[in-house]
Amino acid sequence: MPLPRTRGTALRQRLAELRGPEVPAKALDARALAALAANPGCKRRAILDGAGVNKTALASALGSPSAFGQSQFALTRGNAFEAKVKADGGAELLRLVHERLDRRAEPPTEAHVPDLAAIGPEGRTARTALALREASGTQGWTLLDHPMLALDVAGSPAFLEPDAVVVHPDGSWTVVEIKSFPMLDGSADPSKVGAAARQAAVYVLALEEVAARVEPAPRVRHRVLLVCPKDFSNLPTASAVDIRKQRAVTARQLTRLTRVEDIADALPEGTCFAPDLPSGELTAAVESVPATYAPECLSACELAFHCRDRSRADGAVTSLGRSVRAELGGLTTVEEVLAAARGEAGDPDDPAVAALRRAAELRAEALGVTACR
């Protein structure tokens, strides 16, 4: 539900203050949103993303630059491939959608490609919604090239730009993701396909919000089209990807995010994440927001090296992985775990403590030493 105007304005102003004066907001893309949903307990990431902070610049200013992002070469290659896929009014792209997802429909001989230009993300979102509504009743093929969708994330709107959305003759909508990693013999790297599916799931959720406002509501397909270069060529090939599971997980995780407003209210007065602040001040600002570091952050968040260092310095067991953390129950630091294993602390009836003591005994036995008690 949108915030009342005054509350929404106050929140936007507060988020701008957190970002720093004159610092432009970084739009939250689907990749970032999927990563945010993968770690819903992390308030640090939620407030930084909600405020539009450029985490890459922030990580560098903190002295722990991220190892993230595509090289210029990869970006150029990706853009060239996308342009090739969408050439001739999207003829090849629509052929692939028809072939992989909708063989029963009339083959696309021509397609409508509406102009989606408008001022600002809100204007583009409204233009996209109108184009989708109009296209749903035409009984033909429509290609929306880089539409703009909005999704409410922890109480603040995130604007998302899928590569394309196709409206089928039956009025249903399909998300298309165009990636530059290759599809070899019909299959691609599963981890990359998984990441693309999580991204597409975010777009599907945003599209469903648009569809819910159309009468009768069009069907948003839960099989998306992934287009990649075929083998080692730059010829497009495609595969239908079922994103039902990713959609359900992402929808659930997004509802678990703490509201950005509540996190902002809990921050000390004057907190600011502007990357040009002195590093001590910046570190204090970042550390004032609780984080839940896990090794998975290394492949999903620009602040991972900073948070890992902090987590290790605190001896937090989360830096060993979520599964280890879950096994250790109430023991949250490495020090507590070692003390429990040595029999110096912990409740012996606690299964985690008992298992640690048993493990320490077995280790001592194997090494021929006496376990510390």
Q: Where on the chain is the footprint of ligand SF4 (CB under 6 A)?
A: 39, 42, 44-45, 291-293, 297, 301, 303-304, 307
3-state SS, residue 106: coil
Comparison of 29 and 209: residue with beta carbon closer to ligand SF4: 29
Nearer to ligand SF4, 53 or 356 (CB): 53
| Least distance (Å) between residue 320 CB and ligand SF4 | 14
Minimum gap (Å) between residue 123 Cβ and ligand SF4? 31
**Smallest separation (angstroms) from ligand SF4 to the CB of 318:** 9
- Measured from the CB atom, the residue of 33 and 307 that comes closer to ligand SF4 is 307
What DSSP string describes 196-215?
HHHHHHHHHHHHHHHHTTSS
Surface-to-core class of residue 107, CB atoms within 10 Å of its CB (0-12 exposed, 13-18 middle, 19+ buried): exposed
Instruction: Please enumerate in sequence order all residues whose Cβ is within 8 A of that of 229, keeping only pairs 6 or more positions apart, or say none.
Output: 81, 180, 181, 182, 183, 235, 236, 237
Task: Output 45 or 198, the one with its CB closest to ligand SF4.
Answer: 45
CB of 275 to ligand SF4, least distance (A): 15
Exposed/middle/buried for residue 113 (C-beta within 10 Å: 0-12, 13-18, 19+):
middle
In the bound complex, what is the minimum distance in angstroms from residue 66's beta carbon to ligand SF4? 9
Q: Which is nearer to ligand SF4, 203 or 293 (CB)?
A: 293
Nearer to ligand SF4, 62 or 210 (CB): 62
Q: Which residues contact 348 (CB under 8 A, 6 or more apart)?
A: 354, 357
Task: State the burial class of residue 276 (Cβ atoms within 10 Å of its Cβ: 0-12, 13-18, 19+).
Answer: exposed
CA 201 to chain centre: 10
For residue 267, the one-letter residue type is: L
Nearer to ligand SF4, 59 or 340 (CB): 59
- Exposed e or buried b per residue across 241-252, where buried means at least 16 C-beta atoms within 10 angstroms of its C-beta: bebeebbebbee
Minimum distance from CB of 62 to ligand SF4 (Å)?
11
Please state, in angstroms and rounded to a whole number, the distance separating the CA atoms of residues 117 and 119: 7
Phi/psi of residue 143, each to 5°? Answer: -115, 120
Cβ 283 to ligand SF4 shortest distance, Å: 13
